[in-house]
A and B are shown apart, each in its own frame.
Chain A
Amino acid sequence: MIEARGISVSIGGRRIIADIDFDVRAGEVAAIVGPNGSGKTTFLKAATGDLPYSGRIAVNGRDLSRLKPWEAASMRAVLPQATALSFPFTVREIVKLGLMSGRSGARPGEIERLPELALARVDLDGFAGRFYQELSGGEQQRVQLARVLCQVWAPVFEGEPRYLFLDEPVSSLDIKHQLTIMNIARDFAARGGGVVAILHDLNLTAMFADRIFVMHRGRLAAAGAPQDVLNDELISRVFECRMKVSTLPSGNMPFVLPQSAAL
């Protein structure tokens, strides 16, 4: 599991996030939600080792700040928000970069076809020969996800769970592919890995996350199961927007419609 305790990040003397406690267990999808500028991406960057932080983060019991880049690379993969390239790589060449660490955990016969398998997984069958720069934003995002999947193809490797960090993975996708991508995350967790995703869509969050962490002005406003955390009071306090949280009749899954906003 990934355990973060008392995480604070300051950039240029300004405190961006303060005192965040965070856990994600193997087999779970954890979602980070919150308004723009609440520190979600900053926290994710600290948790992936991109930003210096104070506090303690442990990945499978090992101190993150002591992990070498290649050690960290075999324990987790990170999907950035958007990636622009200035060189004419083909889609296959980009996806194949995910195999760089050589610890994808794919079966021996699978490894040569892994880029194709990963592309099929993100619904980009037949895109291998296309140029990355010529694709739409949503297609590029899915190519990057295929690359990330190649890196940690097996959710459990050498007996240890691995993790996917996804920074707004569905922000530029159509509704079908939003579901495709969230199902990939769900499946990765079901097979023993852990997923941390920043999401903006509260309904997708409620559908797919086991636990949500709500951030507000650099601090953790709430954490827990979606049905316990998502309520009218929290939405109006954190998002400063009064909306009604309802539940589907079939179960206790909450949903929020923007139409319910009291303008």
Chain B
Amino acid sequence: MVDSFAGRLGMAYRSTPQGDRSTRARLVLVLLGMILAANILFGLTAGASDASALSVLRSWLSGAGTDGVALSARDSIIIYEIRLPRVVLGALIGAALAVSGAVMQGLFRNPLADPGLVGVSAGAALGAISVIVLGGTVLGPLLALFGIYALPLAAFLGGLAITIVLYRVATRRGQTSIATMLLAGIALGAMASAFSGVLIYLADDRQLRDLTFWGLGSLAGATWTKILAAGPIIVLALIVTPFLARGLNALALGEAAASHLGIPVQRLKAVAIVSVAAATGASVAVSGGIGFVGIVVPHLLRLLMGPDNRYLLPASALLGASMLLLADAVSRTIVAPAELPIGIITAAVGGPFFLWILLRKRGVLDL
């Protein structure tokens, strides 16, 4: 059985032309799907309570209401109101951050572009902080009009503004300068953070506490309301991005060459920028600053299966979701019964990883 599977795999490899990694990419996608499924199941069943995988599965298989095997009311609350929203939100945000990173890297033709690094997250944070601090006063009408969507919407607009300015500054005549992009990103991020700082200064004690927890990045407060607020935007962005894949592949050759291949480059860039801002904005709005997912996940995948965006984008979504669920599991257990903000974990892993990329590519980058 195993032998025949391996045999068929070998056949597939042999019949694939040299330099064609699509077979391997599909295989990686299947594996990533299985890993994510396992991760979700683990996230649902592991925790301080003893509501176990077995009892959940049993209740699913037999259907609720059957005597003796239905979940107890307590387990049901733990699973459906605490763990499930957290897992769903974690998967959505992990997918959104990783795909945003991959799209942005394609757009800037650079493996170091990441919404967190070049100020897009800072812009989104400014939008979110504005709503938290000014929601009771100046921005009251916005809050009244959009309800739970006001926060992700404001974060989206903040991220969008930064992305557009960044692209204008860093790209001249279709060529993006890496140094300009990173430096302009730092400047824009600093400006956004300065405005955020002013707002935080104005905040009262209760708002300050909200802001601190939110800013460290955490999935702890996951609720169905948050999922309802950010989920649709993220899902929409995740649905749109695969349609950008071919165009982003062509864009790797430069804007002119992509256009010569028949890609409507201006439209591609506009859709890519809006998708990145939407996905990043929605994620930042509900989870605060979770960094480096967008840079680590696509980079690992490019090493594994190549840079073809038709596979890279869906794979980024799957691995991003898995990585964030894993990071969340670590954040819940490493200092149990307390919890470490997940942003600390991703930064602790992502920072060194980023340095490693820099060291490997030092010769290639024209910094």
User: Do A and B assemble together?
Assistant: yes
A residues with a Cβ closer than 8 A to B are: 45, 48-50, 68-74, 76-78, 80, 83, 85-94, 96-98, 100-101, 112-113, 115-116, 126, 128-130, 133, 151
Point out the residues of chain B lying under 8 angstroms from A69, CB to CB: 259, 262-265
* Contact (Cβ within 8 A) B18 A101: no
- B residues 253-294 in Cβ contact with A at 8 Å: 253-254, 256-257, 259-265
Q: How large is the interface on B (under 10, 10 to 19, 20 to 34, 35 or more residues)?
A: 20 to 34
* Contact (Cβ within 8 A) B261 A92: no
Q: Among A74, A90, A97, point to the contact of B250 (Cβ < 8 A).
A: A97
Point out the residues of chain A lying under 8 angstroms from B254, CB to CB: 80, 83
Kindly state the separation between the CA atoms of A72 and B263 in the bound complex, as whole angstroms.
10
* Contact (Cβ within 8 A) B19 A78: no
Kindly state the separation between the CA atoms of A50 and B262 in the bound complex, as whole angstroms.
12
* Contact (Cβ within 8 A) A100 B109: no
Kindly state the separation between the CA atoms of A130 and B252 in the bound complex, as whole angstroms.
17
* Contact (Cβ within 8 A) A92 B259: no
Proximity bits, B213-256, A CB within 8 Å = 1, else 0: 00000000000000000000000000000000010011011101
Point out the residues of chain B lying under 8 angstroms from A48, CB to CB: 256, 260
CB distance from A233 to the nearest CB of B (A): 36
Kindly state the separation between the CA atoms of A129 and B110 in the bound complex, as whole angstroms.
22
* Contact (Cβ within 8 A) B306 A90: yes
Given contacts A50-B256, A90-B306, contact A133 B364 (CB under 8 A): yes
CB distance from B87 to the nearest CB of A (A): 32
* Contact (Cβ within 8 A) A86 B364: yes
Pairs A-B, 5 closest by C-beta atoms: A73-B262, A92-B19, A129-B18, A87-B307, A70-B262
* Contact (Cβ within 8 A) B250 A87: no
Point out the residues of chain A lying under 8 angstroms from B246, CB to CB: 100
* Contact (Cβ within 8 A) B19 A86: no
CB distance from A162 to the nearest CB of B (A): 13
CB distance from A67 to the nearest CB of B (A): 10
Kindly state the separation between the CA atoms of A73 and B258 in the bound complex, as whole angstroms.
10
Given contacts A87-B111, A93-B306, contact A128 B259 (CB under 8 A): no
Q: Does B147 contact A (CB under 8 A)?
A: no
* Contact (Cβ within 8 A) B307 A83: no
* Contact (Cβ within 8 A) B262 A100: yes
Point out the residues of chain B lying under 8 angstroms from A101, CB to CB: 261-262
Kindly state the separation between the CA atoms of A116 and B365 in the bound complex, as whole angstroms.
31
CB distance from A146 to the nearest CB of B (A): 12
Kindly state the separation between the CA atoms of A48 and B258 in the bound complex, as whole angstroms.
12
Kindly state the separation between the CA atoms of A112 and B17 in the bound complex, as whole angstroms.
9
Point out the residues of chain A lying under 8 angstroms from B18, CB to CB: 92, 126, 128-129
CB distance from B355 to the nearest CB of A (A): 18
* Contact (Cβ within 8 A) B261 A151: yes
6 contacts between A and B (CB under 8 A): A78-B260, A83-B254, A93-B306, A97-B249, A100-B250, A128-B20
Q: A70-B263, A77-B260, A93-B307 are in contact. List 18 more A-B contacts (CB 8 A).
A: A50-B174, A69-B259, A69-B264, A73-B262, A78-B257, A80-B254, A80-B257, A83-B253, A85-B252, A86-B364, A87-B252, A87-B302, A89-B252, A90-B21, A93-B19, A93-B306, A94-B253, A116-B17
CB distance from B317 to the nearest CB of A (A): 18
Kindly state the separation between the CA atoms of A126 and B307 in the bound complex, as whole angstroms.
21
CB distance from A127 to the nearest CB of B (A): 8
Please give me the residue from chain B that is nearest to A102 by CB atom. B262
Kindly state the separation between the CA atoms of A70 and B19 in the bound complex, as whole angstroms.
27
Point out the residues of chain B lying under 8 angstroms from A113, CB to CB: 17
Q: Does B339 contact A (CB under 8 A)?
A: no
CB distance from A14 to the nearest CB of B (A): 14
Kindly state the separation between the CA atoms of A133 and B111 in the bound complex, as whole angstroms.
14
Kindly state the separation between the CA atoms of A48 and B260 in the bound complex, as whole angstroms.
8
Kindly state the separation between the CA atoms of A161 and B66 in the bound complex, as whole angstroms.
73
Q: Among B19, B111, B257, B307, point to the contact of A129 (Cβ < 8 A).
A: B19
Kindly state the separation between the CA atoms of A126 and B249 in the bound complex, as whole angstroms.
23
* Contact (Cβ within 8 A) B21 A93: yes
Point out the residues of chain B lying under 8 angstroms from A98, CB to CB: 261
Q: Does B75 contact A (CB under 8 A)?
A: no
Proximity bits, B13-33, A CB within 8 Å = 1, else 0: 000011111000000000000
